[in-house]
Amino acid sequence: MQLRPHARGMRHIDLTDVQLASSETARRINRDIVLELIRANQPISRADLSRQSGLQRSTVSQIVEQLIREKWVCEGAVASLPRGRHPTLLELNEDLVVIAVDIHPKEAIVATVDLKGRLLSRSMVPLTSDPAASTRLLTDCMLRMRQALPRKSIEGIGISLPGRVDPETQRLIFAPNLHWPDFDLKKVIEKAMGLPVKMANAATACLLAELTFRRMDGVRDIVLVTVSEGVGTGVFANGQLISGNRGMAGEFGHVLLDPSGPRCSCGRRGCWETFASCRAALRYYKELQPQGRTVTFHELLNMAEEGDEFAAQALEKQAAYIGRGLRLIITGLAPSVILVAGDITSAWHRFGPAIEKEAAKLTLGGALPQILPTHEGDIARLRGAAALVFQRGAVREQLLEAGKESRQSEEERKLP
């Protein structure tokens, strides 16, 4: 039977603190651990997998056969070891790909991403306020991409959204920047493409991508902040992704900073994102240069690099407000790492120090978290959308099992 990966119940397998679970989920969890070890150490032999996981050779072999059947893993090079042994090395199957969709208010980026997180193709689709018409354009683009990759096995479609997705209904419930009426995006795309669709807020998806492709082993408290038309956050606390009631956790972008501040897309005034988003930077520039032409955020970044003093000041103000909002997050959640995603990561030499300087004004006794740009920030959201599909089924079941975890058995043991 072909197992389909699930996006829900996203728990990261941390290889520095692996506990083999007991009960009926053990086999599936061990399978995830083996898959993550292959991802982190590929190419790798079965013997090394056994050594690193602490699992029996025969158990590893069984799991590997299953992963090969499911097309997650393939056999590649043959290693040459002393005493004439030539084990076949295992690696992730490059032919398994996902269609990743990153939706912004006015456009979507559609891409194909492989199991290693690499982009194979990418295309831009303009979006309007009509979700049905926009979705037709999206599925046309996806169909063209699928036709262009006849040899690849497409596992599903992952969509990162500028809003929150109800984990139960999988419908978009809060996307003030998108201006779409209620619309069952998932159902329409699944029907048109005949593939499973997984959706999540862009920040949560980015966070999942960092956990999946960058590893971040040993780090149990991370907040990821996306800075674009709005400001979104994804929260990983005590080693778990936090979704909250109806998937609404992490809306720090709509926390009030100043009740007399600018009107926000959510209808209120003075939310953090009205001061820290890329739109805010454009407003700061306009205030400094009222007669200047209207520019895009990309242009603003370039202008600052070319020495435009007003552009630099506008970005500096945005960075300071990002740092100021981070203080809320640091106070409330005490993450050890804050990751920042979005176009601003391409000018990190400018943003990083300014954000840190502002955030450092608060230290409640604890150390300031590391504040880092996402790995390959420009494609972080696409990799996030891909990671939604590449999450394995066991992760969901593991979460469902979480309540039963106290029921330990003698099979349960700690890995070396």
Which stretches of the chain bind Zn ion, using CB under 5 A? 254, 264, 266, 271
Between 265 and 345, whose beta carbon lies closer to Zn ion? 265
Structure tokens at 182: 């209620």
Q: Which amino acid is at 183?
A: F
Between 32 and 273, whose beta carbon lies closer to Zn ion? 273
Q: Which residues contact 13 (CB under 8 A, 6 or more apart)?
A: 29, 32, 33, 36, 395
Rounded distance between C-alpha atoms, residue 323 and residue 318, angstroms = 9
The answer to whether 173 and 180 are in contact (CB under 8 A) is no
The answer to whether 93 and 73 are in contact (CB under 8 A) is yes
Between 11 and 254, whose beta carbon lies closer to Zn ion? 254
Between 39 and 254, whose beta carbon lies closer to Zn ion? 254
Rounded distance between C-alpha atoms, residue 355 and residue 245, angstroms = 30
Structure tokens at 147: 């036709």
Nearest approach, Cβ of residue 266 and Zn ion (Å): 3
Rounded distance between C-alpha atoms, residue 180 and residue 214, angstroms = 33
The answer to whether 132 and 183 are in contact (CB under 8 A) is yes
Nearest approach, Cβ of residue 271 and Zn ion (Å): 3
Nearest approach, Cβ of residue 172 and Zn ion (Å): 16
Between 158 and 342, whose beta carbon lies closer to Zn ion? 342
Between 60 and 264, whose beta carbon lies closer to Zn ion? 264
Which secondary structure element, helix H or strand E, spans residue 108, and what is its range? strand 107-114
Between 271 and 330, whose beta carbon lies closer to Zn ion? 271
Nearest approach, Cβ of residue 272 and Zn ion (Å): 8
Nearest approach, Cβ of residue 251 and Zn ion (Å): 8
Distance of alpha carbon 216 from the chain centroid: 13
Q: Is the dihedral of CA 54, 55, 61, 65 positive or negative?
A: negative
What's the longest Cα–Cα distance across the chain? Answer: 77
DSSP code at position 152: S
Between 81 and 256, whose beta carbon lies closer to Zn ion? 256
Nearest approach, Cβ of residue 254 and Zn ion (Å): 4
Nearest approach, Cβ of residue 243 and Zn ion (Å): 20
Nearest approach, Cβ of residue 250 and Zn ion (Å): 14
Rounded distance between C-alpha atoms, residue 359 and residue 101, angstroms = 32
The answer to whether 180 and 133 are in contact (CB under 8 A) is no
